[in-house]
Structure 1
């Protein structure tokens, strides 16, 4: 096994990876920006290296500095977490050239699946059901207008290199198309330095269902069931759960088989996620593949008992999966709430600042993934998520009740958070009854 792993990330996911490594007897190296010098992941790791100023481009996106820190400390592998360089094929390629193991898929696979237009074409060739749309990227506004007329409104414009809800515009009628096209391209250029766009039929009021897969280097691919990520605000996930209330055993088996088929089509290795939209008729369509660990992976860990981070590390070390699909069983129900430093009642305004008091909930079946501590100063530079609260119950109702109780116990003072808003979601009749889709927050809370 690896002797030392560098974690090319920050915050709760860096803490999560460090804990997994420690349990496996692997030494860890944290990297940090100047503004993150007092962060929890820096204190928990065996070693820590400053890689630059606060701005992401100068630190967590600085490939040269991260590779230098890896070589300097003698780490044999890099775990990228999520975000930052986690889906950057060039970074994975540089790691390989420097004889550093990248804990994730090969650069070539990442490049294929990271480009959504290309990924779509690969799935079509593999006979995976895809949403009706454009084959390839849009080369002009005139091309976009012509294809929108062919597909039929509503349509959704997406940045080909996109993620995290950026570079996306939903267009309900032709008069809205030109402005949506121009603003989406501008946003994509700023966010990803790539303004290539593609377009699909917009599936109205779908459920967003993703399947977790594990694939080793020896040809074994399995799935760990689905997660329902339909509770979103502007394409950003807010609450996730597993299993989904709309997925029967038969549908789970069929979607799982398709997820495995999609992974095999690109000879995928390591942990990944196949994302689907499920319409009101129960038909499902491939949306995209995430070639990294997901924020919401803990709900799958709760219902399967499988530590996905540890499996990632073992696969990267060339170990075979020690389980088959028949060994994967699902028990109970898990829910995750993302705790963000923001005020939902003031336009979700970010709320960085110093934590004067934090009291974390506990009890049986309650898990906190966080880098918060008393006195910690949340910087204004990065994503607003500061913690993930995950609960497990024998049933969905038990999990909802447990999450409600845990949110009530969760105290964060000194900044504003979305904890109260999350409680309102859990208390909503339609959420409790499972009657929701991706438009749930917009419809129920007018956000």
Structure 2
């Protein structure tokens, strides 16, 4: 019993560590670095064979490579957790109050529009315009992990502003994936997915027998969305939006599920996806020199590293002039610059959009992935320098409404 108790305590401690942004972001970075190093080592062939290893039945188009399973399957878990956070923001967070939400929402829109325009401008004459959405995304986990490194220098209002911006950014990115990168839509499976989705939603709102069906129903929704041609990660968001968010004093199902699944998302799903997505070989057609001359690379770099901060700052300035809204918690322009640079960490969602836009293994896709890695690391470094240069602030206080570890119904 002592051994079992020790393992149970250890597993709980590991799960709690994985719920922190710093640990999740570190695992994401380590997985990406390992993949990049392996793909550019003398053993690169092993990495390519592992990525291209096909697993699954041919029925329902499920004979996918491991890399595709990571992108279509594991990322559905990430988007389910992100969808839970989105819904909680709309119901119990800053997005429920239009006066508090207007600036980060407008900043998110500006932080997506300007990078897309910059990418199109760079690629208008000779590049591939299909990747216009690649530099529009923000990686919540990576960005919050970098922000957490600022420690007591980071005011609570800065984290809240970034989190609200990032969840709106994710919501818009999900819409882009569903609309712009869906080819050959099969309407019948998509309509059929509404049936298990409705049953899933009904079971989520009742206690008692039958809740064991939630897992099989979620898998069935994923299978039908995948078969429809819509990217299967959208199923994660659809399922998350059916989960009820209840007020304090009652069991919050969304909070409980987010609390339980975040370690799976941060500790397994996202790092495994990063491992298969970040292995960009710098040999042959994808040499560093050729990549840096490609308009696709330049467009993604310009969009993430320049377009993101410019879009966030410009949109926030315009919204303040038009609406008279004030920055929350005494934030200043330097804080907005930090948010802008952090939003340039595209990583997870940008890598996914790059694969959808250019296809796996194509020169444009490899160049886009390299640009995402370079821009994300550069944006993280610039944001860290800005954080270290700001004067010391009181320690960050988490918001009770969206505290991931408190009152989540977990014992």
State whether TM-score is above 0.5.
Answer: no
TM class by smaller structure: under 0.3
Q: TM-score, normalised by structure 1?
A: 0.24
Give the structure with the larger helix fraction: 2
Give the structure with the larger strand fraction: 1
